[in-house]
Amino acid sequence: MTKLTGKVALVSGSGRGIGRSIALKLAREGAKVVVNDLDAEPGDAVVAEIRAAGGEAVAVNGSVVESGFADRFVGAAMETFGGLDIIVNNAGYTWDSTIQKMTDEQFQAMLDVHLVAPFRILRAASEPIRILAKKEAEAGQEIFRKVVNISSIAGLYGNAGQASYSSAKASLIGLTRTMCKEWGRYKVNVNCVAFGLINTRLTQPIEAQQKTIDVAGRDIKVGVQPQLLDAMARMIPLGRGGTPEEAADAVYLFCSPESNYISGQVVVCGGGILM
């Protein structure tokens, strides 16, 4: 048996990049996964990949910031798989500007996707978790559940040009530590992984024609200047950016039974980088 056999996991933003690797990792360890992506095609593709490997998965695609999304997401876990054991709040993107150029819309968009959406998902999960934990306690069982919120070294140390993103990711750490205290009585471990440089489409080198992604009809520029990537790599003791699979491994640590007495913590997955 694998370590997560019988567990039910929600992974937001799991159609691409780090989220996809997290969903596949949890599925390989036996979890039934509720996949989510802003766009249906990549979300459905990850579900198909999990099923082809013999796992169980269902997709709840759409924007995590939409009204009602959190209830649909949590509801899918309960209705399809009959439980909820792991929540990974991973969905997000960056929309950068120096503060004098940053609009209210930019700042609020980062708060919405990186802080408000995780808050709503956890709020929607609170009643099912309370009911399940009460039944288990009455039966004399000690069953642990896991929440892993995804932050960033920008949330720990700040980053020029990312006032909105850094603020949201820092606030998510505060939410993590609060939920650790609120949900401890339900045997829920609530932890946070703060990523350093992970090689995804959002951190690819900017070439002559900068790439964009479509988020709710907005063309958001993605990528990092090659000189900055080189400078960041030199700051990383392990000498390179991480892979999405390595990022997923860090999240898995907090989903495994070995973390049953660890809660309220932030671990940096960044190859040893210390800002």
Confidence at residue 66, expressed as pLDDT on a 0 to 100 scale:
97
**Average pLDDT value for residue range 200-215:** 72
Mean pLDDT of 106-131: 98
What is the model's pLDDT at position 49? 98
Mean pLDDT (whole number) for 89-97: 94
In this model, does residue 55 exceed pLDDT 90? Answer: yes
Q: Can you tell me the mean pLDDT for 206-222?
A: 72
pLDDT for res 78: 98
Which pLDDT score is estimated for 200? 86
Rounded to the nearest angstrom, the gap between the alpha carbon of residue 236 and the centroid of all alpha carbons in its chain is 22
pLDDT of residue 201: 77
165 labelled catalytic: yes
- The whole-angstrom separation of Cα 178 and Cα 50 is 33
With a cut of 90, say whether residue 126 has pLDDT above it: yes
Of residues 142 and 214, which shows the higher confidence score? 142
- Would you state the pLDDT for residue 229? 75
Cα distance between residue 136 and residue 131, in whole Å: 9
Q: Is 197 left (phi over 0), alpha (psi -120 to 50) or beta?
A: beta
- What share of the chain has pLDDT > 70, as a percent? 96
Pick the CATH number of 8-196+243-269 from 3.90.1530.10, 3.30.460.10, 3.40.50.720, 3.40.50.300: 3.40.50.720
Q: What is the DSSP letter of 267?
A: E
Would you call 157 helix, strand, or coil by DSSP?
helix
**207 pLDDT above the threshold of 70:** no
Residue 228 per-residue DSSP state: H
Tokens of 180: 């650790």
> CA-CA-CA-CA torsion for 13, 234, 173, 14, nearest 10 degrees?
10
Q: Which of 163, 34, 157, 10 is nearest to 97 (CA)?
A: 163
Distance in angstroms (rounded) separating the CA atoms of residues 163 and 215: 19
- Give the pLDDT mean for 223-230: 72
Distance CA 250, CA 34 (A): 19
On the question of pLDDT at 209 being above 60, the answer is yes
Model pTM above 0.85: yes
**pLDDT score of 1:** 64
Q: Is residue 204 predicted with pLDDT exceeding 60?
A: yes
What are the tens digits of pLDDT across the range 234-269? 889 999 999 999 999 999 999 999 999 999 999 999
Which one of the listed residues 93, 165, 186, 252 is annotated catalytic? 165
Q: Contact at 8 Å (CB) between 266 and 173?
A: yes
Backbone φ/ψ region at 92: left (φ over 0), alpha (ψ -120 to 50), beta: left
Percent of the chain with pLDDT over 90: 84
Residue 217 is predicted with a pLDDT of 75
Per the prediction, the chain carries an average pLDDT of: 94
228 band by pLDDT with thresholds 50, 70 and 90: confident
Query: CA-CA distance, 161 to 225, in Å (whole number)?
Result: 13
Q: Which residue has the tokens 């399940």?
A: 132
Contacts made by residues 142-145, CB under 8 angstroms, sequence distance 24+: 142/187, 143/187, 144/187, 144/188, 144/189, 144/257, 144/260, 145/84, 145/85, 145/86, 145/186, 145/187, 145/188, 145/189
The pLDDT, as a whole number, for residue 210 is 66
Q: How far apart are CA 193 and CA 219, in angstroms?
A: 28
